[in-house]
Structure 1
């Protein structure tokens, strides 16, 4: 059963309804009916809220992974620097040129290996399980 309803709307809104009706090849009443139904739908706000909640949950997990990876990266760098500084003796001046050449060669090898791993999609950080990276007593639940 249908009933007639006369209403007044702003001219701009009627223009937009007319444009949509022409574009979709639908009667204006069908467009207004769909809009009112959507507006009055009790789950409309719930659906939108659920979509926002899912998006926020995904963003939270991404931020947690970034924090984890940044922490691992900083700790790895700090341990490497500490280790390197503690075991590397100063070189006499006559050995520095050869050491610098060897260092450049080794660095080039490092960059090449890193490039290959990145091209293959390999990541050192992905090799570290989440439960090990979290460490004892840390809370990653957010």
Structure 2
């Protein structure tokens, strides 16, 4: 064990409370917290370490945003293709059938919302399924439209 020298210091009461809370939360002594803080303050490369850590974190966030951009693009394309398909194949209804079609539409939409709620609650996601299907089929998005 390293020999230690005692030092008496004075702290602002609010700062001392923060040190005590951190020591309890991390289950270490207040001296260990203060020693680590002073060592960090005195080290010459702390700003470089902080900058490197921030850079890694920003890179990770950038990759996550890129993934979200791809997901949004897939969703937008999926919705637009579905709407185009639906509008192309669905003939207009006569006036006499519109009331029953609306009632059936409400019923089907409620079923859709219940299914959506269950999938969101369980963590099942369409894009995850799509990724697994694409991985299994060996589809390469850089080769253009292969399935359409």
**TM class by shorter-chain length?**
0.5 to 0.7
CA deviation map 1:15-60 (0-9, x unaligned):
xx7316x94777xxx79x746632xx3x323311220111111110
Q: Structure 2 unaligned segments of length 5 or more: list them.
A: 1-8, 20-29
Equivalent residues of 2:71, 2:127 under 8 A apart: yes
Taking structure 1 as the reference length, the TM-score comes to 0.67
What is the RMSD computed on CA atoms of the aligned residues?
3.2
- 1:19 corresponds, among 3, 11, 15, to 11
Deviation at 1:135, TM superposition (A): 2.1
Deviation at 1:107, TM superposition (A): 0.7
Which structure has the bigger radius of gyration? 1
Taking structure 2 as the reference length, the TM-score comes to 0.64
Question: Which of structures 1 and 2 has the larger relative contact order (alpha carbons within 8 angstroms, sep 6+)?
Answer: 1
**Residues 111-122 of structure 1 mapped to structure 2, 5 A cutoff:** 111-122=113-124
Alignment partner, residue 107 of structure 1: 109
Deviation at 1:118, TM superposition (A): 0.5
Q: Structure 1 unaligned segments of length 5 or more: list them.
A: 1-16
Instruction: State the number of aligned residues.
Output: 115
